[in-house]
Amino acid sequence: MTEKTPEQQEIETLREHNADLLADLKKVRKKLAEAVEHSEALSTERDTAQGDLRRLMLEKPVNAMLDRVAVLPKHFRTEFESRGYRFELDNENVVIRDTEGNPAMIDDREATFTEADIKDLVLEGWKPEKERSDHVENFAKLVIGSRASGGVGTGTGHAPKPAPERLPTGLR
C-alpha cells in the first residue's frame, strides 16, 4: 500500500468536505421547498379567511340592506357601482365611497350606511328637481318607496255579539 502524499490527503479531505457541503445544501433546499409549500398553504388559507371575512362583514350586510332598499337588489347594485359609488369596510364598518375613495356626500355631509341615506344618495333628494342627474329616474324605478301593505284593519270598535244559548233538544 502506498502512502498518500500530503497533497493527496488534502484533496481527499477537500472532497469529503465538498460532499458534506453538498449534503447540507440538499437539506437546506429541502427545508426551503417545505417552507415555500407551507407558505403557499398559509397564503391560500389567509385568502380564504379574508374572503370569508369580507363576505360576513361587507357582502352580507350590504346584500341585506339592498334587499330592504331595492326591488331588484342585484340590478340596483350594478347601477349604484356604475354611477361611481361602492361599499367598503372601514374599521369593521360599512361605508359608501365614490370613485376616488372619498366618502360619498349628501349635500354637505357624509352618506352613512342606512336605508335613508342610500335612497337619498341615488335619488338626489337634497337637490332641486332641475339639478338632479338623469340616472335618478332609473333609481326611482328600483327603489322601494314603502312597504305599507294596508293589511292592518281599523275595526269598528264593537265586539261581536255572542251566539244565543242553545236549548237542549231531544227526549228527556
Rg (alpha carbons) of the chain, rounded to whole number:
37
Q: From CA 96, how far away is CA 109, in angstroms rounded?
A: 12
The pLDDT score that the predictor gives to residue 91 is 83
The pLDDT score that the predictor gives to residue 58 is 84
**Which residues of the chain are modeled with pLDDT < 50?**
none
Record the pTM: 0.56
List of E strands, the chain = 86-90, 93-97, 105-106, 109-110
Identify the residue whose cell numbers are 340592506: 65
The residues spanned by each domain of the chain are 24-144
Identify the residue whose cell numbers are 481527499: 12
DSSP, collapsed to helix, strand or coil, labels residue 82 as: helix
The pLDDT score that the predictor gives to residue 40 is 94
Q: What is the pLDDT of residues 91-138, one digit of tens each?
A: 888 999 988 989 998 888 888 999 888 888 888 766 677 777 777 777
Q: From CA 49, how far away is CA 51, in angstroms rounded?
A: 5
Distances (CA, A) of 65 to 12, 45, 86, 101: 78, 29, 14, 21
The pLDDT score that the predictor gives to residue 126 is 64
